[in-house]
Homo-oligomer: A and B are copies of this chain.
Amino acid sequence: MSLFPTLLSVVTPYPPLVPSVGQAVLHLFCHVPPGPGHVRSGPGPGPAASAAGFDAEVVRHAVKSAQTDGYQVIAAALLGHKADLGLMVLGPDLWRLRAFQTDVQASGAVPVASYVSLTEISEYAAGVPEEMRQARLFPQLPPEGKSAFCFYPMSKRRSAEDNWYSLDFESRKELMMGHGKVGRTFHGRILQVITGSTGLDDFEWGVTLFGVHPDDLKDCVYEMRFDEASARYAEFGPFYTGMVGDLDVVLTALGQGAPGGSA
């Protein structure tokens, strides 16, 4: 259990909390203060550096520890003011996800957005072949050669005129199949991971896209927006965009120097 294994075993041998199907997923989007590895314009530490409070080594430790416990961790450098560092962690035990979050926060990174969800087989895909079922419940991430990253949450609309939840199953299934058909035209350019969050977070699904090019993300989401399932029934939350990479590459892009404390 990461940074505090002995403490926990002393206090209480609590049982893990795991979904009965699939895996738990935590997206953490963090602000990272400017780091000491950054070159400054004058002699001595600049004004921002002295206020900095981020220890990249603690994040490296947190990620390695989770990976050692069998959890997948995807790292991304994000663009824009919303967040600097994106971390997506997947695995069975919610307590272990929280331990990962606690470890990350101990680095001085500040989670400013997040998403809690579970991998799932949607009710419209109940009969998919076992291989596809495994790929959805236990995705292997990140995909090779697709470093363009975005995440957004979404829900189905419940307005008086366009109420997804008042449609019968067959109508919804048909709409979702048309939706999937558009998505499949992006095969090879986009990997889409949809995780369920009804009852767990503010929207009903989290969508994580991995693309070859950044315009693959744009073209895919744009084209799907004309599909009736999106055009009439989708409500979108905020979008987080960036580049997936090895943790060291991501941290370096955030100005956090080389690994091993040499910064």
Contacts and interface: CB of A to CB of B under 8 A. Distances in A.
Contact of A213 (B18, B77, B246): B18
Contacts of A209: 199
A138 B159 CA distance: 36
Contacts of A234: 158
B148 A8 contact: no
Given A41-B61, A159-B160, 9 more contacts: A19-B214, A38-B106, A41-B55, A41-B58, A42-B57, A48-B53, A79-B97, A81-B111, A199-B239
Interface in A74-129: 77-82, 84, 94-95, 97-99, 101-103, 105-108, 111-116, 118, 120
Interface residues of A, number: 121
A231 B204 CA distance: 13
Given A80-B115, A231-B165, A199 B222 contact: yes
A241 B37 contact: no
Given A4-B38, A22-B215, A105-B255, A112 B158 contact: no
A11 B98 contact: no
Interface in A167-222: 196-202, 204, 209, 213-222
Q: How many copies does the complex hold?
A: 5
A259 B12 CA distance: 11
A105 B78 CA distance: 13
B261 A41 contact: yes
Contact of A48 (B8, B24, B55, B95): B55
A161 B166 CA distance: 14
Interface of A: 3-4, 7-8, 10-12, 14-15, 17-22, 24, 26, 28-29, 34, 37-42, 46-49, 51-55, 57-58, 61, 77-82, 84, 94-95, 97-99, 101-103, 105-108, 111-116, 118, 120, 147-148, 150, 152, 158-163, 165-166, 196-202, 204, 209, 213-222, 225-226, 228, 230-232, 234, 238-239, 241-243, 245-246, 248-249, 252-255, 257-259, 261, 263
Contact of A239 (B147, B201, B245): B201
Most buried by B among A7, A10, A113, A248: A7
Contacts of A112: 81
Nearest to A49: B106
